[in-house]
Amino acid sequence: MLYDRLADLPIDLEHYRLERRQTQVSSEFARVTTLVVMEGAGHTGVGEDVTYTAADHDGFPADLPLAGRHSLDELSQLIDPHDLFPGTPPEMDASRDYRRWAFESAALDLGLQQAGRSLADAAGRDARPVRFVLSTRGEIGPWLEFDPWLEFKLDPEPTWEEPLIERLAASGRVRVLDFKAYYTGTPVDVAPDPVLYRMLADRFPDAVIEDAALDGACREALSGALDRLSFDAPIHSLADVDALPVDPRWMNIKPSRFGSVRRLLECIEACEQRGIRMYGGGQFELDRGRSQIQTLASVFYPDTPNDVAPSDYNLGVPRDDLPRSPLPASTAVGFG
């Protein structure tokens, strides 16, 4: 198994500490993440908790008894019995996986650093340059003036009107449409609309269709596009893939949703075996988490429309110094 290549990776952990990252996105929204910084034998490993609710980063456990010499799998098992949100539960239950991933990715980074190995080397793979797309809710025109070859992942909205749809389709650069049907109680919720589904499936015949509702009329609306369906928000394990109402041909892989390295690699390996094409997804990482999703893409799915653009793209303003797709292969020692 793929995980077996990493499970015995030795880790000498002396202690860990926490660092907070924050950026003011708007007057209403401050993006906060927390770094888990593991140190040992002169090396440092970093993971990032991408929990979205800022208040949930308060009370982060800073003294879990994890120090010692362990394998990656043993350290993962040491984390199991601990409540990573002591006191008040997180606003979103998915945040438990996000926090677990911060510890697990820090441990993987530290182990690789101490071994002097890259993720590609440890996994027995060849790292390759990463094709990336830009996920945006803004106008794509200025971005295409900056880079005519840039590709996009877009979130269709009920407010989209014909002139906008015509411009987007005519660009020939839209690779993924994210219908966001599986979010509830968030600012990005979009109610399923079979009329919109059918129209966009027809107007963007080559685009991957992510997280569309598949009940009743919505499924009928997408009957001609079943081989383009992809899933993101419902996927936290291989069991979630098995529970989908269709056999997917595409999958958006966001490592923080899986919580553990084991669950992530089990899903990646199963997708490879089943012929499910994968692409990476981001969660507004502010630090190491961003380069880690780029590293995973480089090692496991470099050629697909990866939503892993460098963080500076999140500023929403084209600049001449922005990196262009593809990103260089991730061959550095460590994880990200």
Q: What is the pLDDT of residue 29?
A: 87
pTM equals 0.96
Distances (CA, A) of 118 to 121, 124, 330: 5, 10, 8
What would the DSSP string read from start to end of 248-271?
A: -SEEEE-HHHH-SHHHHHHHHHHH
Task: Report which of residues 231 and 188 the model is more confident about.
Answer: 231
Residue 21 lies in a domain: yes
Alpha helices in 148-287 (DSSP H): 162-171, 194-203, 216-221, 238-242, 255-258, 261-274
Residue 330 lies in a domain: no
Residue 170 has pLDDT above 80, yes or no: yes
CA 219, CA 267: separation in Å to the nearest integer? Answer: 25
Residue 201 lies in a domain: yes
Q: Of 97, 119, 141, which residue constitutes the final position of a domain?
A: 119
CA 197, CA 203: separation in Å to the nearest integer? Answer: 10
Task: Work out the pLDDT band at 192, boundaries 50, 70, 90.
Answer: confident
Q: What is the pLDDT of residue 257?
A: 97
**Average pLDDT value for residue range 270-286:** 97
Q: What is the pLDDT of residue 25?
A: 84
CATH of the domain at 51: 3.30.390.10
Q: Are 177 and 204 in contact (CB under 8 A)?
A: yes
**Average pLDDT value for residue range 177-183:** 91
Task: Report which of residues 336 and 188 the model is more confident about.
Answer: 336
Q: What is the pLDDT of residue 261?
A: 98
Task: Return phi, psi of residue 32, to 5°.
Answer: -120, 135
Task: Return phi, psi of residue 115, to 5°.
Answer: -85, -10
Residue 31 has pLDDT above 80, yes or no: yes
Q: How many contiguous H segments (helices) and E segments (strands) does the chain have?
A: 12, 12
Task: Work out the pLDDT band at 115, boundaries 50, 70, 90.
Answer: very high
pLDDT digits (tens, 9 = 90+) for 116-153: 999 999 999 999 999 999 999 888 999 999 999 999 99
Pair (76, 222) in one structural domain: no
Q: What is the pLDDT of residue 318?
A: 92
Pair (115, 170) in one structural domain: no
Q: Are 19 and 122 in contact (CB under 8 A)?
A: no
Number of Cβ within a 10 Å radius of residue 161:
7
Q: Of 74, 97, 119, which residue constitutes the final position of a domain?
A: 119
pLDDT digits (tens, 9 = 90+) for 195-215: 999 999 999 999 999 999 999
Instruction: Give me the number of domains the chain comprises.
Output: 2
Pair (214, 275) in one structural domain: yes
Q: Which of 60-74, 173-187, 276-290 has the lowest mean pLDDT?
A: 173-187
Cα–Cα–Cα angle for 118, 124, 126, rounded to 5 degrees: 70
**Average pLDDT value for residue range 185-195:** 77
CA 119, CA 113: separation in Å to the nearest integer? Answer: 10
CB contact set of 295 (below 8 Å; sequence gap of 6+): 119, 127, 330, 335, 336
Tell me the range of 81-95, 104-118, 136-150, 151-165 where mean pLDDT is highest.
104-118
Residue 14 lies in a domain: yes
Pair (163, 86) in one structural domain: no
Q: Are 147 and 326 in contact (CB under 8 A)?
A: no
CATH of the domain at 254: 3.20.20.120
Pair (185, 105) in one structural domain: no
Residue 327 lies in a domain: no
Q: Which of 100-104, 258-262, 313-317, 319-323 has the lowest mean pLDDT?
A: 313-317
Q: What is the pLDDT of residue 186?
A: 65
Q: Which of 9-18, 28-37, 186-195 has the lowest mean pLDDT?
A: 186-195
SS3 assignment, position 69: strand
Q: What is the pLDDT of residue 316?
A: 81
Number of Cβ within a 10 Å radius of residue 91:
14
Paired sense of beta strands 30-40 and 43-49, if any = antiparallel
Q: What is the pLDDT of residue 188?
A: 67
pLDDT digits (tens, 9 = 90+) for 232-259: 999 999 999 999 999 999 999 999 999 9
Pair (22, 115) in one structural domain: yes
Pair (131, 115) in one structural domain: no
Pair (59, 135) in one structural domain: no
Q: Which of 187-191, 212-216, 317-321 has the lowest mean pLDDT?
A: 187-191
Q: Are 106 and 336 in contact (CB under 8 A)?
A: no
Q: Are 151 and 173 in contact (CB under 8 A)?
A: yes
Residue 268 lies in a domain: yes
List the domain range (segments joined by +) for residue 259.
Answer: 123-315
Pair (86, 129) in one structural domain: no
Share of the chain above pLDDT 70, in %: 98
Residue 28 has pLDDT above 90, yes or no: no
Pair (77, 139) in one structural domain: no
Average pLDDT, the chain: 95
